[in-house]
Amino acid sequence: MSIQGGALQFAGAVPACPQCRQPMQPMPLEGHYGQQVPTDLCPGCHLVWFDDFESVRLSGLGWVGLLRQMQAAAHAAPGMLHDHLTCPRCASVLNPVQNLTRFGRYSMLQCPHRHGHLQTFSLLLAERGLVRPLDRRDLRALAAEGRAPTCLNCGAGVPEAGERCSHCDSPLVVIDMPRLMSALLVRHAEPLPAEAAQHVAWPCRGCGAALDPTRSAHCGTCQHAVVVPSFLDLRPLLDKVEPLLRGVRPRAAQPHGARLRALHGDHRATGAYRALRHLFEPGGWPSTPLGWATLAGALVLGWLLLR
């Protein structure tokens, strides 16, 4: 038992959801190199709590597990977040923070004592650049498929084009398939071979042609846009990706001295060879007049000293 930030904490206690105050669901996810990333999820409020910035450490299999939990929670329809949510670790008021990454700007609620941060489902994906804004082309594609547009975060219907959901106030986004696949097809901090994408072909909803989800934003046959507005749409894809990831084994460590024994007798492994190769490569130092003059002077001086 400890006291932090004025709140009583019990070691190993399940944190309460800052929104509904119900116990959150502990969910350890796989990170890089087989490490476990502790995560807490509230399926009713569609909220995820990460200690510190653990979300950046998720492996492809970790993302598969998280997306499956998001699918299981799709039946719930959370509303707007309350004002002044508190940290589940220390009960301090969470601060709204906006950060800028190479994927764009995203927001979250962060503990002032750096115990972690809280995000909705859609904002968590936005942090890693796995979503893109819902645009008019997507709406036309969904209409052609006979599907109604929905909010990715809460699943509520979207009656008309806009930037935010009228039910939960989340940005209206859809899953960016190429970026999602780049996050999924990674295990033990190494990307899967390029041919792995052949086993996870994404069917076009316009003509049925097989698409490469790692690079296709639209069908090359009928030009129909690939639109994924719901976590439930990902179930067939995850069913194909998960066994591929589980079949990847970590790179085995080499026995001590194996690399040195493999280089024994190879003159290209010596420091003298690397220095001379760098010295006499095109554009190197001796190619200049000053360089040649210095080299000639060094040879003459060496001959005078050693004769």
Answer whether 259's CB lies under 8 Å from 95's CB: no
How many angstroms separate the first and last alpha carbons of the chain? 82
Amino acid at 35: Q
Answer whether 64's CB lies under 8 Å from 183's CB: no
pLDDT bucket at 8, cuts 50 / 70 / 90? very low
pTM, to two decimals: 0.75
Mean pLDDT, to the nearest integer, of 137-156?
92
Lowest mean pLDDT across 85-89, 169-173, 214-218 = 214-218
Distance CA 243, CA 227 (A): 25
Mean pLDDT, to the nearest integer, of 210-217?
82
**Percent of the chain surpassing pLDDT 70:** 79
pLDDT bucket at 107, cuts 50 / 70 / 90? confident
Q: What is the largest CA-CA distance in the chain?
A: 94
pLDDT bucket at 22, cuts 50 / 70 / 90? very high
DSSP bridge partners of 191: 186
> φ and ψ at 257, to 5 degrees?
85, 0
Amino acid at 159: P
Amino acid at 257: G
What pLDDT does residue 274 have?
65
pLDDT bucket at 6, cuts 50 / 70 / 90? very low
**Cα pseudo-dihedral 236, 237, 240, 245, rounded to 10:** -140
pLDDT bucket at 3, cuts 50 / 70 / 90? very low
> Hey, CA dihedral for 285, 291, 295, 296, is it positive or negative?
positive
DSSP annotation of 281 reads S
> Average pLDDT, whole number, for the chain?
83
Count of C-beta atoms within a 10 Å radius of residue 217:
13
Distance CA 194, CA 191 (A): 8
Q: Which residue has the higher pLDDT, 100 or 170?
A: 170
Token code pair at residue 28 = 């350890």
DSSP bridge partners of 202: 211
Distance CA 263, CA 10 (A): 55
